Chains A and B, each alone.
Chain A
Amino acid sequence: MSENKNKIYWKGIEERESTPEFIKTLDSEFPAKPEEVGALFDTTKLQNSEVSRRSFLKAAGFSLAGTMFASCVRAPIEKSIPVLVKPEEITPGRAYWYATTCAGCNAGCGILTKNRDGRPIKIEGNPEHPLSGGGVCAVGQAMVLGLYDSQRLHKPVVNQESTSWEKVDVAINKKLADITDNVYFLTGTITSPSTRAAIKKFLSRFRNAEHIEYDPASYSAILDAHEENFNQRVLPHYHFDRAEVIVSFNADFLSTWLSPVEFTRDYTAGRHVEEGSTRLSKHIQLEGQMSVTGANADRRIKITTAEGRSLLFAIAKKLANKSGSRFPDWQAGTVDTAIVDEIATELWRARGKSLVICGLNDTGAQSAVNFINEKLGNYGKTLNIQRPSRQWNGNDSRVQALLARMKAGEVNALFIADSNPVYTLPNAEEFSAAFRQLSLTVSFSDHQDETSSLAQYILPAPHFLESWNDAEVASGIISVSQPTVQGLGQARSVRHTLNKWSGAGDNDLDSMKSFWRQNIYPRQSGAGSFQEFWDNSVHNGYAALRPEPISLSAFKMGQKAPQPMQANTAHDSYDLVLYQKAGMLDGRHAHNAWLQELPDPVTKAVWDNYVCLSAATAKKAGVKNGDVVNVTTGDVSFELPAIIQPGQHDKVVAVALGYGRMGTERFANAGPEWLEGKPTLKAGERVGKNGFVFVSQTEDGFLLNNTVELSATGKHVDLALTQTHHSVTVPEELGGQRRNLVRETTLAAYVKDPASGNHEKHESLQLWEQDHKYEGHHWAMAIDLGKCTGCSACVISCQAENNVPVVGKDEVFRRREMHWLRLDRYYSGDEDNVGVLHQPVMCQHCDHAPCEGVCPVLATVHSDEGLNQQIYNRCVGTRYCANNCPYKVRRFNWFDYRQKDSRENLALNPDITTRTRGVMEKCSLCVQRIQEAKAESIRQGIALADGDIKLACEQSCPADAIVFGDMNDPDSRISKLINDPRHYRMLEEMNFRPTVGYLTKVRNRQDEPSEEGRHG
């Protein structure tokens, strides 16, 4: 300081004076007593002395520094930490896409996953995929939620205790070393050639080892019939687009049967209605319960199971006569000859352009179907067995044989993957008893389920979005599955595990690639090198291959006459039809809350299964909607609520499969908990009841039919339905007028007058001429009711895109479901001829929106592009807008609808805010997609083209029923549709000017709709 010539500043008199006391204090930073520091380390002193605040802080500071020092070691690498050096292709906030293959069911649709910040948040259809062509069903859409299910197993489990892969590998290999024979591998259909090969290779070590495939909703009889008729166990690849006449017996091919997305796409392609290019197939559906497919049929005939089979035989016989061949003299029973004549005539007229399918797992019926298709010359045209489908390959009789061997003690080890026999087998108790006795049981399952919880080892299989896989779903089309996210746990694919055990390497990708190099690459043409082929396949998500050669013998009928099926004539016994429901399928996704809360496309019920009865049957049984009935056959029975289903055969009752799954107890408190709120499930209860217990066994396999008796129990449960009025006609006693909200016509009428059924037009006067000009874009949407099948893919797509919460059964019962997009389903006609129409309804984005004027705080306003916008953070929640909405599309956050499984929050779309309690929300026409596309077009300097923006509902629609676009662009698809004579808008007469419109449904019928009947 003294060297400093500048002014000297001092802090106090002591410093200026430089008193000796002060100089002494300068040495220490804090004027502390040295013994205090020593006291910190002297335990006796420490006990006796009071530690001062200062010394305590010293100690604390020392410990902090010490800990920091100690933690300066290299931490284990967590791959989920944010990237410090940004990978070139990843920009935070911008989505990137992977092409992969859906494994929600075996159909193997091509999908694209939208990834943000290293995780998939949305599944969309891959428009280039040769089978699914851009469509995804509700199940596929919901798979992204399943990925983040916190109850998925993340580590191997041995005897119900978590362990590590190293230990498990050692333990199992040790056990396997002692086993030389009788090893069985039970799986669902394996569409993956590489996995199939790995299983084969693994089993080759053992004598008498077998890989058995088993599908709970079995297609075994179709395969067996083809083996009988063509000497080759194949599943035909159906082409509904090429069929002019489609006759379906009990096959719900638009919703759950075989490959619904592909079929919906083909079916609607064959039902094109446009002036000048109309091509409308004729679809006849024969079924006992009301299915989604039946709802879409041009003609729907109610049959019992036995009647259906008899009709098939009679039609086969009739066509045999016409074609001059012979159909074996199978017992046909008494049939309605008028129906036989009608169908036979239709089919004969469309030889080579027709298709008959049957959903009954009965070889006799399937042989008759094959006979009919053969005699009509449909093989090679509307269905193909040269390039068969590989989607379902289950073999019921081999499963039954396996069970017999298990009981006989002839099985040493059983490996189960992708299958849940303890849940799906009708004789599950026998199976589980035998299963427990086996010396080695291994389950490759991602959950603790009915079967895996009994297995000695559970080896968690990864979700398809976090692993490599392939799928040859139809001969010659191979799809690739690639991981879209770093594995969330330590799951290991079946192929990986088996290859490791077989000593074929520990790198799953390498082993799959080497399999491809040897087996797949030789079947392709076009790509020069394997790497090029691989890269292209991974990029596209699929590759075309040369189909594997298949040797078919000429058609011949089997020699064995099928077992006669007794017509069910007893007074109170009914045909039970066990059906798969859109979303739930065979129960494999019972842990998915989106699917549990997806309204059934027909009954509109959620969170439960139930017995569907006709009104007459319900009357006879003395039950009303929601009354619990006891369903009994032999010593099997359960209690389920009844739903009165229009269009149901009086002798048929139907129960959905896929319910009563283990682990669904987790949804007990799926919704908000409050004073009067009822839990979704009672304590310990599962969602619904397992219908598989009613599956009957024949020598052909598992029949999803049975004969049951019904009795009322006097109990009642509240069914949660999203729609409780089922007709556009108001009740007779209240006037009985028809509201012209859904419009339909017949082909005959349409040909004469394209605007038939759509004559109700309104010209509204304007007080102000064009007060809003919409000079840039003016967005609009049109939905073709003729194409919409009601499959409900759009509902889940919208839910995933827009972070729509799950609210639980009680909230749905209280009519508070949150789906922004709903499917209204209306019945028409009388009980003998029930017509069904599905109508997707979302915010109609009225240009004269009634909601906008009434909001006191301007929380809902109109954009200059015609969008009705809801601004969540302005909303105070008066609900006036919802009251004033004529379409009732607004949804209010009655509670804090938070996801109960917080890991599932990872599926939230970061582009969309989650809404807080007390705020109104509704469809925004995916404004985030519009804005993103507009920004991108500005950035690239390229004008937006029609179709650049695909809304979530539109993108996933397998039927292409939804078209969105700019109606200011005269060449856009939407502008053309708006000028279509079939186009109308709901409640046009009220002058709300909705920009969402609908197109009249045209059914292929000759009878003309009565104009007064169809107009309000």
Chain B
Amino acid sequence: MSMHYSKLRKPVIEGDKALGQITDDVARTLERPPTMLWWFAFTLSFSLLVIGVAAVSYQIKVGIGTWGLNKTVGWAFDITNFVFWVGIGHAGTLISAILFLFRQRWRTSINRSAEAMTVIAVICAGIFPLIHMGRPWLFFWIAPYPNFRGPLWVNFRSPLLWDFFAISTYFTISLVFWYIGLIPDLATLRDRAKSKIKKVIYRITSFGWNGSARTWHRYETVYVLLAAFATPLVLSVHSIVSMDFATSVIPGWHTTIFPPYFVAGAIFSGFAMVLTLMIIARKVLNYQEYITLDHIEKMCKVILTTGGIVGLAYATEMFMAWYSVNHYERFAFINRALGPFAWSYWIMVSCNVIIPQLLWFKKLRRSIAFVFVMSIVINIGMWFERFVIIVTSLHRDFLPSSWAMYKPTLIEIATLMGSFGLFFTAFLLFARFIPFIAIGEVKGVLSYGRNKNRKPAIIQNSETELEAVEA
């Protein structure tokens, strides 16, 4: 691939890095013992995870009754968390697949961690449909396979089944895509590894990578193909998730706008989560030169765009409720904005539509502290968006006699905390054992936006460096 040399472009990677320096920067994090800060974060996350595991174990032992659900509100925290985590995942795939196909080279310094985030988020998401079942031990009944129960086929009309396919496909492709991208870096680690065990592990996991031109060629072919596979998933997975609601008859769910609205919301929330993680990681792992202010600003722009789509969707829903002249539909939306769960609606609107408008200011987009707070605000808002859609639509539907309220139990709150615990535990382990930045890919964009006439910095401390980047 030819590179663009231009004085107008800013380099993607700052700090005038030499190739070997990148390898060192990334690999050293894995080679030194974990810091106190890591241990602290890990302990905290793992504690949350343990709380979550305890809560889920108790719930599976005793029953779904340990959640605050009732005859009217059959889903609440469970599916809210599910949609939230699936949504988070979408940013990673967008960054690694769509931005790859669109030749957005800045993606290289964040794609590895964003993809890891996707894989972990999908694991977090996938747990919820499983544990929300009344009889989770029979989860395999939703898989169509020749069985001894009749054989009993599954119901292909059910959006939950589509969900099952969508999520499992998404998880498989995300995992494979992430792993394929990881192979050259695993080879680098193999070559750097000093202990015998590490060498063996990395040798096996790097699938005999030898860095030859042919290997690189095959690798890039596969990578671009997988990117092409993953791209439609960015749009389809959340569209299908939204059909859980859109194909139903409940006012507030039965809405044709849901697929694009959900996809935009997913990318919106996913980028917010990427920002939260990257802002911490660049500081803690000292990657400020890789994940630069430009990266943050670019992601803020994506957030501004998708947030705008989400805001438009909110307005469209309201308009359509009025325009439909269907009084059940109208009521569902008036009840969202003014009913007993109005607080959650206004948290959603404030966090997702009103506050993100501040990102129109460049100064704020480049303010690390502001963007960090903003990313968390958006994640809270997007969690509440799913809560609003699910709970406020269900709690007051057609027959006023059955209207009910919903209040989460401690078990549900602990389960939500547990999912964050799982997410951060897994992410911290990822940061410990797998190169946080795609070494191979970053090297490819090292000269991007650089002055061609400048000499590269002298490579220092480069040890068994694998000179494998293209000329």
* Residues in A lying within 8 Å of B, measured CB to CB: 672, 674-677, 723-728, 730, 733-735, 737, 739, 741, 811, 814-817, 822, 824-826, 839, 841, 850, 853-858, 874-880, 882-884, 886-888, 890-896, 916-920, 986-987, 990, 992, 1016
Complex: how many Å from CA A888 to CA B141? Answer: 25
**A734 and B338 contact, Cβ closer than 8 Å, known pairs A739-B400, A917-B63:** yes
Partner of B334, one of A727, A735, A817: A735
> In the bound complex, do residue B64 and residue A877 qualify as a contact, i.e. CB atoms below 8 Å apart?
yes
Q: Which residue of chain B has the shortest Cβ distance to A813 in the bound complex?
A: B70
Q: Is the Cβ of B71 less than 8 Å from the Cβ of A888?
A: yes
B314 contacts the other chain (Cβ, under 8 Å)?
A: no
Q: Which residues of B contact A987 (CB under 8 A)?
A: 398
| B159 in contact (CB, < 8 A) | yes
Selected contact of A739 from candidates B132, B134, B398, CB within 8 Å: B398
Please indicate the chain A residues that have their CB under 8 angstroms from the CB of B43 in the complex.
none
Is A894 a contact of B63 with CB atoms below 8 Å? Answer: yes
B66 at the interface (CB under 8 A from A): yes
- What 18 additional pairs, Cβ within 8 angstroms, besides A855-B160, A876-B138, A879-B69? A676-B66, A676-B409, A676-B410, A824-B399, A850-B248, A858-B152, A875-B134, A876-B141, A876-B142, A877-B134, A877-B135, A880-B74, A886-B249, A886-B399, A893-B63, A894-B63, A895-B65, A918-B135
A601, chain B: closest CB distance, angstroms: 13
Interface residues as binary, B138-172 with A (CB distance below 8 Å gives 1, 0 otherwise) = 11011000000100111101111100100000000
A850 to B248, CA, bound (A): 7
Contact of B399 among A676, A841, A850 (CB under 8 A): A841
- CB A921 to nearest CB in B, in angstroms, measures 11
Residues on A with beta carbons closer than 8 Å to the beta carbon of B160: 854-856, 878, 880
14 pairs, A vs B, C-beta closer than 8 Å: A675-B410, A730-B331, A734-B339, A814-B70, A815-B404, A841-B399, A876-B135, A876-B139, A877-B134, A880-B74, A888-B398, A888-B399, A920-B134, A990-B398
Q: In the bound complex, what is the Cα–Cα distance between A271 and B22 (angstroms)?
A: 91
Beta-carbon contact of A919 and B135 below 8 Å? yes
CB distance from B402 to the nearest CB of A (A): 4
Contacts of A888 in B (CB 8 A): 71-72, 397-399, 402
Q: A676-B66, A734-B334, A734-B339 are in contact. Are A887 and B399 (CB under 8 A)?
A: yes
Confirm or deny: B403 has a beta carbon within 8 angstroms of a beta carbon on chain A. Answer: yes
Decide: A884 and B334 in contact? CB cutoff 8 A.
no
Asked whether B334 lies within 8 Å of A880 as measured between CB atoms, the reply is no
Partner of A725, one of B66, B71, B135, B403: B403
Q: How far is the CB of B275 from chain A (nearest CB, A)?
A: 34
Contacts of B362 in A (CB 8 A): none
Residues on A with beta carbons closer than 8 Å to the beta carbon of B238: none
CB <8 Å contact, A725 and B400: yes
A838 smallest CB distance to B (angstroms): 11
- Chain B residues in 8 Å Cβ range of A990: 249, 398
> In residues 324-360 of chain B, which contact A (Cβ within 8 Å)?
327-328, 330-331, 334-335, 338-339
- A727 & B400 in contact (Cβ 8 Å cutoff): yes
Contact with B75, one of A814, A841, A883, A895 (Cβ below 8 angstroms): A883
The answer to the question of B68 belonging to the interface, with a C-beta cut-off of 8 Å to chain A, is yes
Q: How far is the CB of A29 from chain B (nearest CB, A)?
A: 46
Of the candidates B70, B161, B328, B334, the one whose C-beta lies within 8 Å of that of A856 is B161
Give the residues in chain A near B159, CB-CB below 8 Å. 854
Alpha-carbon distance A920/B334, docked complex (angstroms): 31
Task: Report the minimum CB–CB distance from A125 to chain B (whole Å).
Answer: 27
The answer, yes or no, to whether B37 is at the interface (CB within 8 Å) is no
A727–B161 CA distance with the chains assembled, in angstroms: 38
Q: Which of B164, B247, B327, B401 contacts A1016 (CB 8 A)?
A: B327
Counting CB contacts under 8 A, is B95 at the interface? no
Does B74 contact A675, Cβ atoms closer than 8 Å? no
Residue pair A877, B404 in contact (C-beta under 8 Å):
no
Check if B142 sits within 8 Å of A857, measured CB to CB. yes
State A672–B65 Cα separation when bound (angstroms). 9
Distance, CA A878 to CA B160, complexed state (A):
9
When A and B form their complex, which 6 residue pairs have the shortest distance between CB atoms, in order from nearest?
Answer: A877-B134, A918-B134, A894-B65, A879-B74, A888-B402, A824-B401
Interface residues of B in 234-268 (CB under 8 A from A): 244, 247-250
Query: Hey, which chain B residues are within 8 Å of A726, CB to CB?
Result: 400
Find chain A residues with CB under 8 A from B164 CB: 856
CB distance from B71 to the nearest CB of A (A): 6
Contact B250 A734, beta carbon cutoff 8 Å:
no
Contact B331 A883 (CB under 8 A): no
| Chain A neighbourhood of B433, CB < 8 A | none
Q: Nearest chain B CB to A26's CB is how many angstroms away?
A: 52
- Given the interface contacts A857-B141, A858-B155, does A826 sit within 8 Å of B401 by beta carbon? yes
Give the chain B neighbours of A850 by CB distance below 8 A: 248-249
Complex Cα distance, B173 from A345, in Å, reads: 84
Q: Tell whether B319 is near chain A: CB-to-CB under 8 Å.
A: no
B411 interface residue per 8 A CB criterion: yes
Give Cα distance in the complex from A877 to B155, angstroms. Answer: 15
**With A875-B134, A882-B74 as given contacts, are A918 and B158 in contact (CB-CB < 8 Å)?**
no
Tell me which residues from 158 to 203 in chain B have a Cβ below 8 Å from any Cβ of chain A: 158-161, 164
Q: Are B134 and A816 in contact (CB under 8 A)?
A: no
Q: Would B70 and A815 count as touching, CB distance under 8 A?
A: yes
A residues in contact with B411, CB < 8 Å = 675-676
Chain B min CB distance to A963 (Å): 22
Q: Please report the C-alpha to C-alpha distance between residue A293 and residue B159 in the assembled complex, in whole angstroms.
A: 47
B contact residues around A811 at 8 Å (CB): 65
Q: B325 to chain A: closest CB distance in Å?
A: 11
A734-B331 contact in complex given A723-B401, A850-B249, A854-B160, C-beta closer than 8 Å: yes
Q: Is the CB of B249 within 8 A of A992?
A: yes
Q: Which residues of A contact B338 (CB under 8 A)?
A: 733-734
CB within 8 Å for A883 and B394 given contacts A676-B66, A854-B248, A896-B63:
yes
Are A876 and B133 in contact, with the CB atoms below 8 A?
Answer: yes
Find out whether the CB atom of A675 lies under 8 angstroms from the CB atom of B58. Answer: yes
Which of A677, A857, A890 sits near B155, CB closer than 8 Å? A857
Chain B 404-428, CB within 8 Å of chain A: the 1/0 string? 1100011100000000000000000
Q: Compute how far the CA of A919 lies from the CA of B92 in the bound complex, rounded to whole angstroms.
A: 37
Q: Are B70 and A884 in contact (CB under 8 A)?
A: no
Q: Which residue of A has the minimal Cβ distance to B153?
A: A858
Cα separation A824 to B403 with both chains bound (whole Å): 11
- Chain B contacts for A895, CB-based, 8 A: 62-63, 65
Once the chains bind, are A674 and B66 in contact (CB under 8 Å)?
yes
Instruction: Assess the A878–B399 pair: CB atoms within 8 A.
Output: no
Q: A735 is contacted by which of B153, B247, B331, B399 (Cβ under 8 Å)?
A: B331
Interface centre among B129, B328, B397, B402 (most CB of A within 10 A): B402
User: How far apart are the CA atoms of A916 and B134 in the complex, in Å?
Assistant: 10
Chain A residue with the shortest CB-CB distance to B140:
A876
Residues of A within 8 A of B334 (CB): 734-735
Shortest B329–chain A CB gap in Å is 11
> Please, which residues of chain A bring their CB within 8 A of the CB of B66?
674-676
Measured between C-beta atoms, what is the minimum distance from A751 to chain B in Å? 30
What are the residues of chain B within 8 A of A880 when measuring CB–CB?
74-75, 158, 160, 244
- Which residue in chain B gives the minimum CB-CB distance to A823? B401
Nearest-Cβ distance from residue A919 to partner chain B, whole angstroms: 6
Residue of A676, A839, A884 near B250 (CB, 8 A) is A884
Evaluate whether A892 and B134 lie within 8 angstroms (CB atoms) in the complex, with A676-B410, A883-B74 already known.
yes
Complex contacts, A725 vs chain B, CB 8 Å: 400-401, 403
Tell me the minimal C-beta distance from B74 to chain A in angstroms: 4
**Minimum C-beta distance from A721 to chain B (A):** 10
Complex contacts, A858 vs chain B, CB 8 Å: 152-155
> How many angstroms between the C-alpha atoms of A373 and B405 in the bound complex?
51
Alpha-carbon separation in the docked complex, A856 to B141 (Å): 9
- In the bound complex, CA of A677 to CA of B68 (Å): 11
* Chain A residues whose CB sits within 8 angstroms of the CB of B69 once the complex forms: 879, 892, 894
Judging by beta carbons under 8 Å apart, are A879 and B158 in contact? no
Assembly CA distance A890 to B74 (angstroms)? 10
Most buried by A among B69, B155, B164, B401: B401
Mark B47-79 against chain A: 1 for CB-CB distance below 8 A, else 0.
000000000001000111110111110110000
